[in-house]
Chain A
Amino acid sequence: MFKSSVSALLLAAACAAATPAGAEEPIKVGMILEMSGPFADLGRQILNGAQAYIKAHGDTVAGRQVELIVKDTTGAAPDIAKRLAQELITNDNVDFLAGFGLTPNALAVAPLATEARKPMIIMNAATSVITTRSQYIARVSFTLSQVTAPLAAWAIKSGIKSVYTLVSDYGPGIDAETTFKKTFTAAGGKIVGEVRVPLRNPEFAPFLQRIKDAHPQAVFIFLPGSSEQPIAFMKGFAERELNKAGIRLIATGDVTEDGVLETMGDTPLGVVTTHHYSMAHVSAQNRAFLKAYAEVAGNGVRPNFMAVGGWDGMAAIYEVAAKLNGQIDGDKAMEVLKGMRIDSPRGPLVIDPETRDPIQTVYVRRVQKVNGKPYNVEFEQIPDVKDPGK
C-alpha cells in the first residue's frame, strides 16, 4: 500500500525534475468535473466547450500556454471534489479552479478557494447560494431562479392562470418550484396543485394521472437534464393525451436541452421553455462556437448550455490572463472578473460586480422543427436578468 505511494512520489519528483529550467510555466486551470457515473454527460459537455474555446482561440495567452488539468469527481461526491481541489492547489499549483457541474461539489470546494485565494469559475452549477460561499467564486452559467421567474411572468402574460407544478425532490427542483410559485402567485396566478417526485423515479403514470384530474391550464416541470426523467415525463404526457385535454407544458430549458432534444422524438414539439442558451440562437459568436465544438466533439454530438458554460468560463480565464499580463493573482483576478463583459454564444453576458453571478438575457423558446430537426427556437427575450435569489 505505501509502496505505491512512494513510487508515485518518486515519479512525481522525476517529472518535476524533467521540466526544463527557464521555460515559461503554463497557466494551469484545474477542471473539477463529473466525467463518469450518472452525471458523465455534464462533465463531457463542459470539457468539450472549454476545449472548443481553446481550439478556436489558440492555447496561448499573454505569452503563456494554457493547460487544463482535468479531474474526475466520479459523480456527486463532495468529499472527492474537495480532495481533488486540495491536490490541484497544493500539488499542481493551479492558477484557476474551474468546472463544477454539480452544486454539492462546488459548495465543498468553496472554502478552499478562499483559503488558497484561487479564482473559482463555476461553469455550470446552478444553485443560488454558491456564489455567497466565497469571495473568489465567479459564475458564468446561470441560476435556476434566474430562468424560472421570467417563465412565470410569461405564463401570466399569455393568459395561463392556473398551473400544476411538478419538480424533482432535491435542491434545484425545490428552488425552481419556490421561485415559480412566488412569481406566479404574485402576478395573480393560481397554483392548483404541486408535487415533488423522488429523484429515482422511473414511473410517472400516477403523477400524470393526478395532473390530468386537476385540469390546470399548464404544467410547470423541473426535472434534471441529462437523465431519463424528462424523456419519460414527456412520453407519458403525450401518451396520456394531456395536451389534447388542453393542458400546456412549460418548463425550464433543462428539460429540453439541446443535447437530448433529438432523442425525444416528436413528443416535445410545442413545449415552451425559458433558458439562457439555445443552439438555434442566431449570432456570429454562436456560429463560431458551434463550428469549434463540432471540431472537438465530432459532428454527431450536440452542444448544450453546459458546453457554453465551459466556453464562456475559458473566455473569462483568457480575459483575466490577458488583463493581468499572465501574472495571475487571486485578488486581482477577482477584480477583473467583477463586471466583466463576455461576448457569449448565448448573447450578452456580464458578471455582476456585487454578487459575481451572471447577468444575461433569458429567452422564451418553443420546440420546433428546423430543417427536419428539433430546436429550441427563441421567440421572446428578457434582457439583463439578475438572479432574483439575491
Chain B
Amino acid sequence: MISSLLGVLFDGLAYGMLLFLISVGLSVTLGLMNFVNLAHGAFGMLGGYVCVIVMSRWHVPFLAALVPAFVAAALAGLVLERILYRRLYRGSHLDQVLLTIGLTFMAIAVATFLFGPQQQSLRLPEYLSGQMSVFGVDLNVYRMFLLAVGVVLTIALTLVLEYTRFGASIRASVDNPRVAEALGIRVGLVFQIAFAAGSGLAGLGGALGVEVLGLDPVFPLKYIVYFLLVVAVGGTSSLKGPLYAALLLGVVDVAGKYYIPQVGAFIIYAMMVILLILRPQGLVSRP
C-alpha cells in the first residue's frame, strides 16, 4: 500500500510540475507587467503543435523537437508583445482580458483549420517510455523525466533571477518600474525578453504535456482554469509560490482521486477556495 501511495504521490508531483512549467510564464507576465494574458494557453498549444509537426514530418527525435517548440512560442510572444500587448500595458485589466480572449479564439480557429479538430499525439522515444523500479516502487519513466526537467528549469530560473544582472533588472522593474528606468534599466526591453521567455516556457510545457494532457485546438480554453489557479494560489511575486501551488495542486488532485474517487473533482476546487480564503495574497507573498 505504501508503494502505491508513493507511486500516486509521484504522479501527482509530475503532473503538478508540468502545470508549473506551463503556468510560470503567466505568473511572470501578471506579476511583472500587470498584464492579464488569458491567451497564455495558446502559446502552450503552439509549442505542442510545433513539436508534433516537427516530429511527424521531419522525423526529428523528441528531445530535439522540444527546442523549436520553445523557440516558436518565444517568437510568437515577442511578436505579439510588440504589436498588440504593448498598447495595453496601461489599459484596464478588462480590456486586456477581452483582447487576449479574442486572440485565443483566433488561435483555436487557426489550429482547427491547420490541423483539424481531432487529438494529436506523438511517439515517445523508447528510453522515455515504460516503467522503472526505484526503491521497490514502479515509477513511470516519462513522469520522472518531467520532474527532472522541472527541477532543472526551476533551478536555472532561480539562478538567473537571483544571480545575474538581467535577473536583477527584472526584479527592479517589478518593484518599481519608474525608478528602474531612471536608473538606466531599459524596462521595455526587460519586459519584452521576460515575456518571450515566459511564452517560450509555455510552449515547452505544451510540448512536454502532449503525452500527458493531450493536444487539440481547444487546449487553451480547456486548461486555462488550471493555469489561473496555479497563479492565483501561488501568487505572482515569486517563482516559488506558483511552484508550490502547482505541486500541491497536482498531489491533492491525484491523491483525492485515488482515495476518494467519488469526490475527486470537488477536492481541487474546495481546496482552492479554502487556500484563497486563508491566504488571499497567495501562498508565498512578499511583505
Residues of A within 8 A of B (CB): 36-38, 40-41, 44, 195-198, 200-203, 205-207, 209-210, 212-213, 226-228, 231-232, 235, 239-241, 259-260, 263-265, 301
Contacts and interface: CB of A to CB of B under 8 A. Distances in A.
A44 B216 CA distance: 15
A206 B258 contact: yes
Contacts of B212: 202-203, 232
Contacts of A227: 119, 214
Name the prevailing secondary structure of the A interface residues: helix
Contact of A263 (B15, B118, B256): B118
B218 A206 contact: no
A239 B129 contact: yes
Contact of A240 (B121, B138, B255): B138
Given A205-B8, A232-B214, A240-B140, A265 B121 contact: yes
Interface in B254-269: 254-258, 261-262, 264-265
A260 B4 contact: no
B111 to A, nearest CB: 11
Contact of B117 (A40, A203, A240, A265): A40
A369 to B, nearest CB: 15
Given A206-B11, A210-B261, 18 more contacts: A38-B218, A198-B265, A203-B253, A206-B254, A206-B255, A206-B257, A207-B257, A207-B258, A226-B117, A227-B119, A227-B214, A228-B119, A239-B140, A259-B118, A260-B119, A263-B120, A264-B121, A301-B116
A154 B22 CA distance: 44
A235 B212 CA distance: 9
Nearest to A236: B140
Given A36-B112, A209-B4, A239-B131, A228 B216 contact: yes
Interface residues of B, number: 40
Given A206-B257, A231-B121, A197 B264 contact: yes
A202 B254 contact: no
B136 to A, nearest CB: 15
A45 to B, nearest CB: 10
B261 A228 contact: no
Contacts of A203: 11, 15, 212, 253-254, 257
A232 B222 CA distance: 15
Q: Top 4 closest A-B pairs, CB basis?
A: A228-B214, A206-B258, A40-B117, A198-B265
Contacts of B119: 226-228, 231, 260, 263
A202 B264 contact: no
A240 B8 contact: no
Nearest to A212: B4
Interface string B238-266: 00000000000000011111100110110
B188 interface: no
Nearest to B213: A202
Contacts of A40: 112, 117, 217
Nearest to B142: A239
26 contacts: A36-B112, A40-B112, A41-B117, A44-B117, A197-B257, A197-B261, A202-B15, A202-B213, A202-B214, A203-B11, A203-B253, A203-B254, A205-B8, A205-B11, A205-B12, A206-B255, A206-B261, A207-B257, A209-B11, A213-B4, A226-B118, A226-B119, A240-B138, A241-B138, A264-B121, A265-B123
Nearest to B10: A205
A37 B264 CA distance: 26
Interface in B128-178: 129-131, 138, 140, 142
Contact of B261 (A207, A213, A239): A207
A207 to B, nearest CB: 6
Contact of B258 (A38, A210, A228, A264): A210
B191 to A, nearest CB: 32
Nearest to A229: B214
A260 to B, nearest CB: 6
B254 to A, nearest CB: 5
A228 B218 CA distance: 11
Given A197-B264, A213-B4, A235-B211, A205 B15 contact: yes
A95 to B, nearest CB: 29
Interface string B197-225: 00000000000000111111110001100
A207 B256 CA distance: 10
B263 to A, nearest CB: 10
Nearest to A228: B214
Contacts of B213: 202, 228
A228 to B, nearest CB: 3
Contacts of A259: 118
Contacts of A264: 121
B12 to A, nearest CB: 8
A226 B264 CA distance: 23
B7 interface: yes
A205 B254 contact: yes
Contacts of A301: 116
A386 B8 CA distance: 42
A231 B120 CA distance: 10
Nearest to A301: B116
A209 B7 contact: yes
B130 A239 contact: yes
A200 B112 contact: no
Nearest to A193: B261
Nearest to A263: B121
